Amino acid sequence: MAGLVRIQSEDFSVEEEVKRIKTVSKEVGGVVSFLGTARNISKGEKIVSLEFEHYPVMAEKKLDEIRKRALDNFNIIEMGIVHRVGRLDIGENIVLIVAAARHRNDAFMACEWAIAELKRVVPIWKKETTGKGEVWVEEHP
């Protein structure tokens, strides 16, 4: 299904992404989503804005690999992943992972694994702007 894994600058609709995953199969009995949003504090510092940069093509490839590995290793029917890049204000959506399965536990496990793996291997970097200046967060590859 085209468009299940995307990197984009514009916002996304959680409702539309869930709907897209639900229509894949009549066997879907549970849909779990993780929505990451821009918070206003990090390590005790107030954040004014965030900026995400990525390594084009490689980041999309890694996200697609995560989706395929989730389909292979968890008992899920489908998964979608959307990540934003560019400058984001506090409260805006950053990343969405949606996992659909016959049973909820499979979807929960796949979704939790996928966000941890995304943070571990996908070349997307976050810069936080605080009152003290800009800081690149080092927890990404």
Evaluate if residue 93 carries a pLDDT over 80.
Answer: yes
87, 49 contact by CB (below 8 A)? yes
For 110, phi and psi rounded to 5 degrees? -65, -40
Tokens of 51: 């900026």
* Each residue's pLDDT tens digit, 115-138: 999 999 999 999 999 888 898 987
Structure tokens at 91: 């409260």
pLDDT, tens digit (0-9, with 9 covering 90-100), for 13-32: 999 999 999 999 999 999 99
Is a pLDDT exceeding 50 seen at residue 88? yes
CA dihedral (2, 61, 104, 96) in degrees, to 10, reads -80
- pLDDT single digits (tens) 25-75: 999 999 999 999 999 998 888 999 999 999 999 999 999 999 999 999 999
**Quick one: pLDDT at residue 42?**
86
Q: In the chain, what are the domains?
A: 5-136 (3.90.1170.40)
pLDDT of residue 56: 92
pLDDT at position 141: 43
Name 62's Cβ contacts closer than 8 Å, sequence gap at least 6. Answer: 118, 121, 122, 123
pLDDT at 80 over 60: yes
On the 0-12 / 13-18 / 19+ scale of CB atoms within 10 A, 126 is: buried
